[in-house]
Amino acid sequence: MKLKSVLIANRGEIACRVARSAHQLGMRVIAVYSEADADALHVRVADEAHLIGPAEAARSYLDATRILEVAKASGAECIHPGYGFLSENAEFADACEAAGIVFVGPGADAIRAMGLKHAAKDLMLKAGVPVVPGYQGDDQSDDHLKAMADETGYPVLIKAVAGGGGKGMRRVDEAAGFADALKSCRREAEAAFGNAQVLIESYVAAPRHIEVQVFADAKGNCGHLYERDCSMQRRHQKVIEEAPAPDMPAKVREKMCAAAVNAAKAVNYRGAGTVEFIADGAKGLRPDGFYFMEMNTRLQVEHPVSEAITGVDLVEWQFRIAAGEPLPLAQKDISITGHAIEARVYAEDPNSGFLPQAGKLNVLKWPAGRPGLRIDTGVEEGAVISAYYDPMIAKMIFHGPTRGDAIAGLAASLAASTVLGLRSNLAFNRRLITETAFIEADFDTSYIDQHLDNLCDAEIPGKALIVAAEAWLQSLKQDAHRTPWSGLTGWSMAGLPRCDWLHLRVNGQDLTVRIDWKEADRHYTVTGDDGDVTGVVSHGVLSPVELACIVDNDSLEADVWADPAGGRVLVSVLDVHLDVTLQDMLNRDEEAGAASASLKAPMSGKIIQMLAEPGQHVAKGEQLAVLEAMKMEHSLKAGFAGTVQSVGAGEGDQVQEGQVVIVLASDEAAG
């Protein structure tokens, strides 16, 4: 049987990725989209596309009934779920089979067997696969879970049994913090998975997260495509993935891959799957030092690194297995070639707690024509990153002959990429993979969280501030909508050297810029809260999107986007994203007062917990509310000690970015 058409029940990067392989196989591609994704790239690369509902995922990409209706009406022979959404929904797999539509994934029984972590651990114990010590029983009372954590020994992990992607997981280092962590974990698990049940696991010292890509057909054949190391994580969410795992001894690889295959066979698996292990890296990787965590019964986000080192198109294999074909290659014919590393590029601000960003990608540039570089993305320049979904922009994958080559190639590619309009983790990723610890493979899953201060540099380099001011000046010169007097040139009627002033706001920081014109050069003095920065700019030339200038004899190039309506210039230079606007000098006192007294929603979302009430005295840093947005919880904390004057939203309320949630009166103001 050859499958001739596929409905992709997903969006964004993975929908585009699946469509690419489907087209290569000559299949007709059918896309679905929400109202928020009407102009999305995955819609345009498909042969046909159908609206399935509003922006909310629960009413569109998670609406199994509506998706099946579209599949039947469009004549889709199979449905590929991608990852996330319905990809591990056993009921959806059953519904596809009942409708006579092939589900490109494992059978519903295998999804159920591995879908709940506690049941999967019991199954693995029976199959002889090593598991992490802990508790995965049905007694979910607070007291019993606390007792089991005490018995296991701290630190422990509380994990949602239906969890994934780092959601519904909390590390607890001592008994005193268990109750609050359990409450938070359950709340997030219920919101993300509709299941608040948890398990307790011993926290493995120096943990390495290593997973094995497995594949099985319907004829009983099962094999692996080696391992991936996903230890570079932040809050249990993967940031950097690579294959093969660095410093992996041959004996450990052999035993781990065999355990993964046994895990798949234990549930009569079919298709692509990933068996995840936690390894104790304190004394190096050892045959007796790894434990089963979970099995993801779908394609993984990081699958491209496995494709790179094996030369296999995993999505093509998924379609072939779903069509009833045997595994295309025997285990002896699959080998490792080179090394591949993937960086997830997100619209988020590392310097503000990795706050997700939503809005328009005004500039999006990737390096072109680089051997070994692969970009998987679901957006283009001008696209909008929606607050309703994961803020991923792209995955950058580099494959080289050695791990060192892969690191160098990926670092250079990250440095040559530009995102303007929204802050991104491009520079953060580049700094991370060029850390000595990463290069020497001396890290575990806690590395990022322990080294955030070094990896997140909130200070803007002085030369970057000068380039930002120069970009603003050059944009004024080129803006035909403004009067001739706004294009500063240094000319004066008296023929004397001229001094001009700009009052700018750069990334929220108020700056006063003095420009002294001396012959062909511009002497800048930028004054802010941290003092003065000075520099001499010569030969500044702004093309429509690039600024080239010399600052203190250093040649610098910056990517620039100027709002056609005026009033805003975006600059990317020296690894920083700068948002430049004019200060409103007539409204400074009012703005300063509001900023010091108002706690605003950092992005659109839902208030799921309100801890403040009028008249309450709060300490600096105290959590006052919890906002749920982009599938994650975000704490709103007091920036200073004071008294709550008013509360502008309650639990369950939807709030918009910038909306005042809580108004505080500071203790200093009262004094």
Greater pLDDT, 458 or 6: 6
The stretch 394-415 carries a mean pLDDT of 98
Q: Give per-residue pLDDT as tens, 354-387.
A: 989 989 999 999 999 999 999 999 999 999 999 8
- Distance separating alpha carbons of residues 61 and 12, to the nearest angstrom: 12
Instruction: Count CB atoms within 10 A of the CB of residue 402.
Output: 10
Phi/psi for 482 (5° steps) reads -95, 170
- Confidence tier at 669 by pLDDT (50, 70, 90): low
**105 with 168: CB under 8 angstroms?**
no
Confidence at residue 631, expressed as pLDDT on a 0 to 100 scale: 62
- Distance separating alpha carbons of residues 206 and 278, to the nearest angstrom: 10
Mean pLDDT of the chain: 91
Confidence at residue 115, expressed as pLDDT on a 0 to 100 scale: 84
CA 588 to chain centre: 35
Share of the chain above pLDDT 70, in %: 94
Greater pLDDT, 551 or 476: 551
Confidence at residue 489, expressed as pLDDT on a 0 to 100 scale: 56
Query: Which pair of structure tokens corresponds to residue 427?
Result: 């520079």
Which of 581, 608, 419 lies closest to 511, judged by CA?
581
Confidence at residue 590, expressed as pLDDT on a 0 to 100 scale: 43
Question: What contacts 399, CB < 8 A, 6 or more positions away?
Answer: 305, 308, 309, 338, 339, 340, 372, 374, 406
**226 with 213: CB under 8 angstroms?**
yes
The stretch 123-130 carries a mean pLDDT of 91
Confidence at residue 589, expressed as pLDDT on a 0 to 100 scale: 43
Question: What contacts 382, CB < 8 A, 6 or more positions away?
Answer: 360, 361, 362, 364
Confidence at residue 588, expressed as pLDDT on a 0 to 100 scale: 47
Taken in order of first residue, the domains within the chain and their CATH numbers are: 5-104 (3.40.50.20), 133-202 (3.30.1490.20), 462-582 (3.30.700.40), 594-670 (2.40.50.100)
Which of 79, 197, 78 lies closest to 139, judged by CA?
197
Q: Give per-residue pLDDT as tens, 85-105.
A: 999 999 999 999 999 999 999
Greater pLDDT, 417 or 488: 417
pLDDT at 595 over 50: no
Greater pLDDT, 639 or 303: 303
CA 323 to chain centre: 33
Confidence at residue 577, expressed as pLDDT on a 0 to 100 scale: 94
Phi/psi class of residue 288: alpha, beta or left (left: φ > 0; alpha: ψ in -120 to 50)? alpha
Confidence at residue 282, expressed as pLDDT on a 0 to 100 scale: 86
- Distance separating alpha carbons of residues 313 and 26, to the nearest angstrom: 15
The stretch 578-586 carries a mean pLDDT of 84
Confidence at residue 591, expressed as pLDDT on a 0 to 100 scale: 42
Q: Give per-residue pLDDT as tens, 198-236.
A: 999 998 888 999 999 999 999 999 999 999 999 999 988
Query: Which pair of structure tokens corresponds to residue 28?
Result: 């007709």
Which of 424, 365, 370 lies closest to 397, judged by CA?
370
The stretch 622-634 carries a mean pLDDT of 80
Q: Give per-residue pLDDT as tens, 495-517.
A: 566 788 999 999 888 999 999 99
pLDDT at 8 over 70: yes
Confidence at residue 485, expressed as pLDDT on a 0 to 100 scale: 47
Greater pLDDT, 164 or 61: 61
SS3 track for 289-342: CEEEEEEECCCCCCHHHHHHHHCCCHHHHHHHHHCCCCCCCCHHHCCCCCEEEE
**43 with 376: CB under 8 angstroms?**
no
Confidence at residue 564, expressed as pLDDT on a 0 to 100 scale: 86
Q: Give per-residue pLDDT as tens, 262-282.
A: 999 999 999 999 999 999 988
pLDDT at 165 over 80: no
Which sequence positions are flagged as catalytic? Answer: 298
pLDDT at 668 over 70: no
**172 with 593: CB under 8 angstroms?**
no
Which of 312, 316, 315, 318 lies closest to 330, judged by CA?
312
Is residue 466 within a helix (H) or strand (E), and if so which, with residue range?
helix 462-478
The stretch 457-480 carries a mean pLDDT of 88
- Distance separating alpha carbons of residues 164 and 187, to the nearest angstrom: 15
**423 with 229: CB under 8 angstroms?**
no
Confidence at residue 541, expressed as pLDDT on a 0 to 100 scale: 92
**103 with 87: CB under 8 angstroms?**
no
